[in-house]
Amino acid sequence: MPAQSRATVAASPQTKVGSVKTFVRDKWFPVDGEGTEIKVLMQNYCICCVQNGVEPVSLNAFLDQIEKLFERLGIDIEVGDDHREYCLGMRLGPSARKILH
């Protein structure tokens, strides 16, 4: 691939971009009493995109889409005592864990 910025690649109509909604639907499951750091969601989303041969959306687009999706689903995002953001009541599913270990 010629040397292009990620912004150029993401804007290209020929480039497929990974769906945040599909990623959450397929890889993350509701679990009472657990929380997952938003950074972990993003890292796993990027890994899934690479494995599927698609470009991940930008960090800002990912965060915007996660916020809107979780709001519709009733999933809370809170800042923990460690100053990191967590989505509450969600965890990585078993099939995705196998891929990442």
Which ranges of 1-101 would DSSP assign to H, the alpha helix?
A: 6-11, 20-27, 38-51, 59-73, 94-100
Question: What span, in angstroms and rounded, lies between the C-alpha atoms of 70 and 21?
Answer: 10
Counting as low any pLDDT under 70, the low residues of the chain are: 1-14, 94-101
Query: What is the structure's pLDDT at 26?
Result: 87
pTM of the model: 0.72
Residue 78 CA to its chain's centroid (Å): 16
Query: What is the structure's pLDDT at 34?
Result: 81
Look up residue 93 and give its two tokens: 């599913």
Question: What span, in angstroms and rounded, lies between the C-alpha atoms of 68 and 75?
Answer: 10
**Domains of the chain as residue ranges with CATH:** 16-100 (1.10.10.10)
The per-residue pLDDT for range 37-63, each reduced to its tens digit, is 999 999 999 999 999 999 999 999 999
Question: What span, in angstroms and rounded, lies between the C-alpha atoms of 83 and 88?
Answer: 15
Query: What is the structure's pLDDT at 88?
Result: 87
